[in-house]
Each structure stands twice: as C-alpha cells, then as structure tokens.
A and B are shown apart, each in its own frame.
Chain A
Amino acid sequence: MFTPHSDYDVEVMLKSIGIEKLEDLFKEIPERFRFPGLNLPPRMTEMEASDELESIAASNGTTKDMLSFLGAGAYDHYIPAAVDMLLRRGEFYTAYTPYQPEISQGTLQAIFEYQSLICTLTGMDVSNASHYDGATAAAEAVILAWHHFRGKRGKVLVSRAVNPQYRQVIRTYMQATDNLTIAGDDAETGLDPNLDKFIAQIDNNTALVLVQYPDFFGRIVDYRPLIEAAHAQGALVAVAVNPTALGILTPPGEIGADIVVGEGQPLGIPLSFGGPYLGLFAVKEPLLRKIAGRIVGETVDVEGQLAYVLTLTAREQHIRRDKATSNICSNQGLMTLASAIYLTLLGKEGFRKLSNLCYQKAHYAAGEVSEVPGFSLAFPDQPFYHEFVVRAEQPVDEVLEHLRGHDILGGYDLGEDYPELKGCLLMAVTEKINKADIDYLKGALSEVDHD
C-alpha cells in the first residue's frame, strides 16, 4: 500500500545484506508461531475504504441532523473554518514532538502561545503543554498535591458537583496509593452550592480541595470562602473549568486557585464521539516545578536569536524514569494548536461575545422550558452559565424518547450518576442554537403526556 519497494529494490537490498529472501530476516522468531495467517478482511484500496467509512459514518445520527442539548462535559460549538485548514498543514500534523528545537520552532512557538493564552484565560501563572483531557488533568492535580506534601497529608476532598467521570478517573489513578482517601463527594455531603458541609471537612490533613466552575450542573458558585478556608488549613485548591465560561466569568486565578484544570474541547475541537480532547493544566508560580507534562520556554540560540525549547525536562519520564511524578509522554499536541488558533481568531472581543451568547441563550431556554407544565428548574435560585438542570414529572427516559420523535437530543439523564436527581435532565445551550430552536423545543415538551 504505502511501501514503495519495487522487486528490483528488494533484490538490491537483499543482496547488500547477504540473504536470499525476506523470510530469512525472521529466523529468530520461534518457528511454530512464525507467520500466523491473520483472520482479517481482505485489503481494500483507498477508494473502497473511503466508501466503507462513509457508509459507517452515514449510519450515525449527528448533532447536524438532530437538535442537540447534550453537554455534560463536551460541547457543540461552531469551529471557524480557518482552524481546521491550518491544522491540516502537513508541517503541523505530521511533525514529531519538538525534541530538536532547531527544526521545530513552529510547534514550539505555537505551544508557547497556547500556554500564554491559557494563563490569560484562567488568570494563572504557568500552563503546561496539555494533558489528555479534563479528567486526567484533574487526576494529575491530585498527584501533584500528594507529592507536594510528600505523602504527609492523606485526604483529598472532591466536590460531588465535579463531573462524575473525573471523580472516577481520579479514583482509578489513586487506587494503589495507600494512605490517601478521596472524600467529600458522598450524597450526605451533597450538592448544596453554599458548600458548608463540604468546607467543614477541610482540615490540616487535607492536601487538595477540588471543585468545578461552572459545576457539572452548570451552576456558578462563589468559591472564595472555600478557597479561604482551604488556605487557612494549608491545603491546595484546584478548580476544574469550562474555558468558554471564562470569557465572561471571573477566572479562578483571580480568586486564589492554586491549580486550574479543565476540558479544552470547547476551544475549536470537534465532538468526535469523545476524543481526542484537551486537558488544561495551569498553576500559580510556587507550584511551577511540580507540574507534570511538557513545558515550552523562551531562550536564545548561539546567534542570539529568540528561540523556543522544551524546558524543565529533568522532571519528565525520560530523565526521572521511576522518580518522575507522572509518566506522561505524548500529550494532545495538535489539539493545543487548535485551541490557540481558535482563541486567537475569536480574540478579546469575539471570545467574550461568544461566551456571553451561550449564557444568554441558555437563560432564555431555561426560562422557556420552566414555563412548560410538568417541567421546572431543579436549582431555580442558583446563577448558572450555559447548562441547567430540569426536573420533569414524567420519567426522563420517556421525555427523551418523546423528544427523539421530534429529532431532538434533549440532554443528559442525571438519574444514574445522582440518585438524588432522579427525574432530572441536564441541558446545555451553545451559540449554535437559535431562538427558533428553543421555541421548537418548548413546543415539543408541551406535548409530553402528563397523566
């Protein structure tokens, strides 16, 4: 397929090596296992493969042919044409990790700009060059805190209003760390946005407190009292963000967060059934040496010309090996470029406007939906960003089924993750949704049968 060798080439090469046939290269393979015939479909040409993949793709229903209010950690935003056009440049996407800075200045400067843009957005001092996604970034924050206190503080508090998948991933990562308890996200501590019961659990054995902003339910919470309480006990605070919200909301860096993590997918990255996405990770200066993952720094070359290089590499796995605090090697490379282009294209005014537009449309939708008999807002008095929780009298699966009949993906059923929110639906609204779409949703909901 992509092997260019002619028969003549192979002949020349075999002769140069001094062997008779290709099979002779594999004499060290145990004979009885050598050359297994693999049971795979016959090979296809590019044309046939293209047909096949198109057919598979066409069998899906998408956010293009259905009106979607699905959020819960991944959001359907418009991606400007210039983003993908630039990403398709072979110089970017077929490039390797920039270990040889002399021939990787494009990648390195793009990452440096990405780091700077994330710092600007989050109000933090230093960003790394990305983690895999929001959940693994959150897990790395927990690891950072654990090592920061050298294992002397054994508790990490995670709010129940943090994305359930993030909390699962944190527990997977930390399952082998004895002497560490992950707590605070039980039903008893609950979902109260004033956080009293949660804050009461912060003590001098707490290494890290993790909250989400806006939280998993779209609610905007004032974390200043929590941050104060945590710092009074010497604990670190990590805030998991939705970057779009930071266009209009006070960034966590300005209210005292020590670490910011988050999911960068909304910044110019397609939904793509869950990946590849972008793990944001930024810290305040005192924690800079503890950060995992690659970091790009500025320097000069031998002629005094400005240049960018990977720096602080002594922290990483290829040097520290078993003493590295993280094993991360590949990160999300091209996705950082996508988000840097996106943020630059939208710019100061555009990003603020976009962020605001999501806020406005979500509030209109929440108002309209709550006017429909049988539907109410679960947290009516809580400010929210672009997601909100709707309580339905009818079982949620029936509501969703009904909406499907109108080609609407109504949202995320919260009942499985949150028994206390059985009967509730999480709906997200982005700039792609029109007033007409929301009115259409309202019409469809009004038809839901209430006995």
Chain B
Amino acid sequence: MTEPTVFQLSSPGRHGFDVPASDVPDFTLPESFVRQDLPLPEMSELDVVRHFTHLSQKNYAIDLGFYPLGSCTMKYNPKINEVTSRLSGFANTHPLQPLDTVQGNLYLMYTLQEWLKEISGFAGVTLMPAAGAHGELTGMLIIQKYHKDRGDIKRKRILIPDSAHGTNPASSAMIGMEIVPLSSDARGNVDLEALKALCDENLAGLMLTNPNTLGLFDEHVEQVIQLVHAAGGLVYGDGANLNALLGIVRPGDLGFDVMHFNLHKTFSTPHGGGGPGSGPVAVCQKLVDFLPDPVISVVEAGTEEVAPLYGYAHPAKSIGRVKTYHGHFGMLVRAFTYIAMHGTDGLRDIAEKAVLNANYMMHRLKSTYTLSYDRTCMHEFVLEGVWKDLPGIHALDIAKRLMDYKFHPPTNYFPLIVHEALMIEPTETESLDTLDAFCDALLKIAEEARTQPELLHDAPHNTPVRRCDELKAAKDLVLCCYPLEELQK
C-alpha cells in the first residue's frame, strides 16, 4: 500500500501547529524581499502524525530484527541513551554559551576524550568529526600536515589495502594524496612483499583496517606498521571494526599513529536511517599538536575542594576546524552513557561475545557456503554467495530471499576482493536463538537455491515493496515531489 506524500495529503486551508500571536508592534519587511509564495503542505497535526507513523511501519530496524551487516556493528541501541541525551541540561545548551554555564558538557566531553584515549592507547583525542568518513578526512589531514610541517613535501603516497572501505580512498583523494592499492596475501593479511616494495621516501602513510573487512586480524600487523614507520610513513587505523578489540588489544599499543572511532558502530549510538554518526579521532603524542581546533581541556586544575575548570585548547599546529562548534554532542552523551555502564569488564565482554558469535555462525555455515579464508575470524566473516554448479544464483538473490525470512541481509558485494561477498557481523547483543535462526535460514536458502531457485530470483515476496527498478530511478530522475500547483490540478 503506497503512502501518499505530504504534498499529496495536503489540502488548502488545513491547519496544523498553532503559532502564537505577536505581542509586539508590527514592522514591515521591505517589499523587494517579501516572499510571494510558500507552497509547503497544509495538514492537520493528526494527519502528520499518522503519515509518519505509517512510514515508520514500512521500515526494518534493530528494534524489529537482526541486522548481520558486516562492518556496521548493528548492535542494540540502549534506550537509556535516548533519555540521557535528551536531558534538558544537555539539549538546551547553546554551543556558544560562556564556559562557566556549560561545565557539565565540557566535563562530559573531556572525560569521554580520556576514556577513548585509554580504550585505544593514544595520547590525544578530538570529538569534533561528525562521522567516520569525516574522521578519516581529519586523520589524513593530520598526517599530511605532519609531513609538510617537517618539510617532507615529497610524501604524497597513501597505501590502501584492496579490501578497504570506499571512504578510505575517497578521503585521501579529497586532500590530493596519491592512492596506491595494496594487495592481500592468501591468508587475508597485507601482502608484506608488496608493502616492502612501496616503502620509500614518497610514502606518506598506510590506511589499515584491523581487523580488516574480511574480519581477520592481520597476523603481521606489528611488522606492517614497523615497515611503514621505518620508511618514514605514518599508519592510519580505520576504527570501524573496533568492536572486536575492546579490552582485547589497543591499536595505539600496536603502533598505529592515528585512528578514528565510529561511535554509531562500536559505542551503540543509533544509526537513525543513515545518521547522525560521530567519528572522533585519536592520535599518538607526536600528532597531538595537529588536532582540530578546539579540543576540550582543563584550563584550571582542580583542587581537593574545587573541581577543575574545563575549556577549549587550541593545538599549536592545528589542521583547523572541521565542522561548526564542538561535534555531535548528542551522540557523545550517548557514547559516554554507554562506556560508563560498561567499564573495563563490560567492554571486554562486548568484544569476547562479538567474536564468539561470529565464529559460532561461521562454523555453522562454512560447510554449505564457501568461506573465503579459513581462519579464526574476529567479529565478522565473509562468505561467497555463489556455488560453481549453480551459475544462476548470486549473492544478491540470497540477500533478497533473506528478507522473506524477516532478516536484513548481510553486507553484499563488499569487500571487493571476494567474489559475490556476503559479509556477516552478528554483534554481541544477539542471542544464540537469533544466530541459530539466521543460520537455519541461510541453510534453507542454500537448499532452495538448488530445488526452487525462482524463490530466490523473485525475492523478496513479503516486504512492503518488492525488487525495485533501479535503472528507471537513474534514468527517469524524479528527485522531488511534484510542485503543489501541479498536484492540485
């Protein structure tokens, strides 16, 4: 059942939210600036509420079911986060308020900075970046400026494994770096020989996701980092897969120089249908001066009686500001709540159960689906969604059929180095029953692929809409509701 758009539901003269009357004298806007026409929809409040409620009912969400999306870490979004982030003391603070009126906010941000440093093993943190990709941009700008500041301007080359998420090369390209792909070896690690050949005086750095997008912990990670360092380069850590490492190992200890966090992955802040995220960045000591301006710091040390005074510091060689104000404060409150509730033991428990869940599923599925790399996986693993003897079946078909079983499909066609990839990440908040139900569904689908392939090709059958014509969407571009005047004809 198609839900009409707000423009179609609109009816002239309908009336929603009441704006109070003016209690001041009238002032006239100069005629030349007066807007003639504002064809926004006209609906009653009830109709607006019904409309958006109807829309919500067409969505799949974590609150409804399992999302085994590799590298997305679709864990449960705790409800308490939604309460704490909405507290009036947080929600009603303006970003430019005087310091003494927002010490609570600054304390929260400073403490979160310290916690993230501790969790990851780094010396400095910025909470400003708005998302993972934004954090990558920030981190790469830091690396670039570090080299430039030392007069090392020849270093323009960034090595990026062929399994990397698309934002990695995109972020580096945005700032004019030269991207060189790095191949993986047969066990899914960075190919050391290939790396050695590229370590020269033009090397600015390496962007490494560890565990990588195959869910594998690089067996030579320390050596990889040492090789890059020896050549004068820096190592950027894409922290999307941090869920596997909480309390297990700290990227800073392994030698990474800078990394970003995805609070909307590892630290449970909700995905919101595509955002907002939050992508703090942590750096080693020698990069602290390059952090975005400002960072939260202690401006006056505390004593036994008096709390410290928190404020803004301006890193001496800062890359500059990367967005307005201080970052996605509302998401920082959620992450703070989450970490406070977990503590050291709780964080380690997250990683252990996330990795346990993934390995359990991998073992249940590996005899039916081809496993690209037969190693202990971390929090995710990759299967191939094809069988040599069934040329008509693709990962896409399996993904679509899963929706009939009321599951969101895993990530497909990524990473690019696996043929017809299905990347599965259960996260730690899913129970054994859910994991078994999902594995059962995948095994059933494997059977269906042989006996009733049309079920896969025509899938999904039971969803609000069925397979969509993406070619038509790209060719006959309709990106906007029709103007109101047209609809009213």
Contact = CB atoms under 8 A, between A and B. Distances in A.
Contacts of B333: 53
Interface string B97-122: 11011111101100000010011010
B193 interface: no
A334 B276 contact: yes
A381 to B, nearest CB: 12
Interface stretch (B64-72, B228-236, B440-448): B64-72
B20 interface: yes
Interface residues of B, number: 201
A96 B463 contact: no
| Central interface residue in B40, B254, B472, by most chain A CB within 10 Å | B40
Interface in A16-47: 16-18, 22, 25-30, 33-46
A301 interface: yes
Contacts of A134: 324
B321 interface: yes
Contact of A330 (B22, B274, B321, B324): B274
A205 interface: no
Contact of A113 (B5, B15, B74): B5
Nearest to A41: B343
Contacts of B92: 62-64, 76, 270-271
Interface in B451-485: 458, 460, 463-470, 472-474, 476-481, 483-484
Contacts of A360: 22, 24-27
A273 B17 contact: no
A133 B130 contact: yes
Nearest to B484: A120
Interface string B1-29: 01101110010001111111011111101
A110 B55 contact: yes
Given A22-B356, A132-B131, A60 B93 contact: yes
B307 to A, nearest CB: 9
Contacts of B48: 82, 341, 344-345
| Central interface residue in A95, A263, A311, A352, by most chain B CB within 10 Å | A95
A107 B170 contact: no
Contacts of B284: none
Interface stretch (A172-180, A189-197, A372-380): A172-180
A60 B104 contact: yes
A59 B103 contact: yes
Given A96-B271, A172-B320, A329 B473 contact: no
B341 interface: yes
B34 interface: yes
A344 B274 contact: no
B282 to A, nearest CB: 14
A410 to B, nearest CB: 10
Contacts of B342: 1, 43
A425 interface: no
B431 A348 contact: no
Contact of B470 (A40, A132, A299, A331): A299
A303 to B, nearest CB: 6
Nearest to B364: A16
A167 B362 CA distance: 50
A14 to B, nearest CB: 8
Contacts of B221: 30
A273 B173 contact: no
Contact of B166 (A86, A220, A317, A346): A317
Interface stretch (A153-161, A229-237, A243-251, A443-451): A243-251
A270 B39 contact: no
Interface in B54-111: 55-64, 67, 69, 72, 74-78, 80, 82-98, 100-105, 107-108
Contact of A59 (B20, B104, B324, B349): B104
Contact of A176 (B64, B131, B175, B483): B175
A322 B172 contact: yes
B464 A103 contact: yes
B59 A275 contact: no
A396 B432 CA distance: 63
| Central interface residue in A26, A305, A359, A400, by most chain B CB within 10 Å | A26
Nearest to B362: A17
Contacts of A418: none
Interface in B140-158: 141, 144-145
Contact of A305 (B176, B341, B466): B466
A354 B53 contact: no
Contact of B95 (A91, A271, A319): A271
A278 to B, nearest CB: 9
6 contacts: A2-B75, A38-B247, A70-B96, A165-B324, A346-B40, A431-B20
Kindly list the 5 A-B residue pairs having the minimum CB-CB distance in the complex, ordered from nearest: A57-B89, A274-B325, A43-B343, A90-B63, A274-B95
